[in-house]
Amino acid sequence: MRLWRKLTIATAAGFILAGAVIFALDTADRVFPPPLEKTGAVSAEVLDADGQLLRAFATPEGRWRLKTTVTDVDPQFMRMLIAYEDRRFYEHHGIDPLAIGRAGLQLVTNGRIVSGASTLSMQVARLIEPRAGRSLSAKILQVIRAVQIERRLSKEEILDLYLTHAPYGGNLEGVRAASLAYFGKEPKRLTVAQAALLVALPQLPERRRPDRNLAAAEAARKRVLKRAAVAEAIGEGEAERAEATLVPATRMQLPALAAHLAEAALRSKPNEREHRTTLKKQIQAGLEATAKSAAMNLRPKLSLAMVMADARTGEIVGEVGSADYFDASRSGWIDMTRVSRSPGSTLKPFIYGLAFEQGLVSQETIIEDRPADFFGYRPRNFDMSYQGDVTVREALQLSLNVPAVRLLDAVNPARLLVRFRRAGVRPILPPNEAPGLAIGLGGVGITLKDLVQLYTALANKGEPVRIGDGVTAKPGKIDGEPLLEPVAVWNVSDILSSVIPPAGAPQRGIAYKTGTSYGYRDAWSVGYDGRYVLGVWVGRPDNGAVPGSTGYGTAAPILFEAFAKSSIASTPLPRPPAGAVRIAQADLPVSQRRFSINASGLLSTSSREQAPQIVYPPEGAHVDLGARSGDLSPLMLKLQGGRAPFRWLANGKPLPDLSRRRINQWMPDGGGYSKLTVIDAMGRAASVGVFID
């Protein structure tokens, strides 16, 4: 026994002497440096806007090795780790003479290895420079490397290396990867039971894998909890309660959200470790859960895509490129948010918005839904039937084709495309064709992303924003003129917010529009509240027909489910702007009671109605312009008919300039009654009396 004791003391002295020698050499010449620059690649990570992990990519050798620092881990885990593995970590310089002596004495006393003497610094040395065997020379090299590492790195940096590279079985390395795989969460907040398991596994990672050997994992965790030093670190009674907690028996998949956008982020900057996006993890998870659920009810070969954007900032907060990225039968690898398709009826709200802005119609204006011929173009309704006389409000809510084309003919298709360009969107026209009336029924190509960008203006009082791509392109407000005036936007939103939701869908206070492209190839639904816009597309990536698939029946239910599962609070639609009011049909000016076009192509209700008519504000209207608060806003003036130029008078006083436009504005001096008059080039006049509130 005395011989064993002498050998133990000699071995410990040898380790200490080796450490002292290498310390002296390393101080003098920095010879034989440790390979700290070759610690192994870490996994690339795609993060959401708040820094939460959306998706990780395995290293080139196929390992899940996520960069981890002390600040990423529960402080209680760190206390348990140091108490169990290296109690004097903050006191020694790479080797612990007391631990070596204790281990040697236990070996002599028990005839077997009871506890090791490896410090965390020595374990890091083994991780960054692995050796196949466990020979004495390998152990001496660990001692040398541990001393060198301590001289080059701070204690926190050494812990960071351990937390990143510690083995946890299979291709899992590091505490973050293990915590995500076994507990489904980041290690920032761990229970005592979870922390104990993560402390125990790196010693024998393959033998103690919970998904392969549950009993060994439980026993190892129990040994950690029973260690006296650990008991001091976790508090009285915690060990017993932790022992009663079940060890997870399965390994979970690491976060794998936003497949298409994550791939795009990696391609854009392949050498970066972290890729920050504008997505919100909670919203993204909700959209993907909706897509997964919806895909189960879709026919084979059908895919779907979704884009949700913040209408105020332009940031994409959620994006789903396909029903299933790995489903080859649905061409899941194709990101359908970026593919140009026919939008069906989803552009109609912008036609109506232009008509409202130009004073051609009001919500209760009567418009005909009957067969019509526009120089050879004969639009028909989706169900091949006609409603006869309907209000403009009903025509948009029912998505009737003929009334939409009538209005587009009046506002001019080219003017509609100009407005789209204000929003940074350029729909694709058929080759060698000028803008035509077919635009109103989907006769252009547009991506889901661009369609959502257009609708952000409706949720943002007419001001368009650029929604970027979620990764590199910067979102933000688009400088220039608005897409539509606020009053026109309010009229559109007021109509769309009253459309009946699909059967079984909750009423969330959103305005939404559906669309179905020619031949049942694309089903669309776009909805918005006062903050977020969500667009949904359903169809075949190969552009094949899907008989029976419609925007209302197929895409709209997904829209409402996605809004619900995205876990965002509903934001009310914007309040009516100054001058916005829904006027009953009986109170409309004569020229706005029925929309029609005479043989000369002029808007009229009869051949005599060519004199100017003030269509806004209506006679006797009370218009809230902020007079009571003292912060007055200008009043929008709109007329129909007459011949330019026009002279406006307010209370008998001419406004400064003649105008050739049928839209003008006037800044009142204060509240109360005012008389507004317009005179056209032929001397014909029209007047209204209004009350400014």
**Which ranges of 65-191 does DSSP label H, i.e. alpha helix?**
75-85, 97-110, 120-128, 136-152, 155-165, 175-183
> How far apart are alpha carbons 33 and 464 in whole angstroms?
58
**Residues taking part in catalysis:** 85, 345
> How far apart are alpha carbons 275 and 260 in whole angstroms?
14
> How far apart are alpha carbons 246 and 423 in whole angstroms?
56
Please state the separation of Cα 574 from the chain's center in Å. Answer: 22
| 8-state DSSP, 341 | B
Kindly give, in sequence order, each residue whose CB lies less than 8 Å from that of residue 380, ignoring residues fewer than 6 positions away.
371, 401, 402
Q: Is 346 exposed, middle or buried (0-12, 13-18, 19+ CB in 10 A)?
A: buried
CB 681 within 8 A of CB 639: no
Report which of 146, 139, 173 is spatially closest to residue 65, judged by C-alpha positions: 173
CB 83 within 8 A of CB 227: yes
Please state the separation of Cα 424 from the chain's center in Å. Answer: 20
Residue 407: CB atoms within 10 A of its CB come to: 25
Secondary structure of 429-484 as H, E, C letters: CCCCCCCCHHHHHCCCEECHHHHHHHHHHHHCCCCCEECCCCCCCCCEECCCCCCC
Identify the three-state secondary structure at position 240.
helix
CB 517 within 8 A of CB 442: yes
> How far apart are alpha carbons 675 and 671 in whole angstroms?
12
CB 470 within 8 A of CB 316: yes
Identify the three-state secondary structure at position 622.
strand
**Which ranges of 358-400 does DSSP label H, i.e. alpha helix?**
392-397
Identify the three-state secondary structure at position 594.
strand
Please state the separation of Cα 506 from the chain's center in Å. Answer: 22
CB 448 within 8 A of CB 340: no
Supply the DSSP string of 249-301, one letter for each residue.
-S-PPPPB--HHHHHHHHHHSTT-SEEE-S--HHHHHHHHHHHHHHHTTSPTT
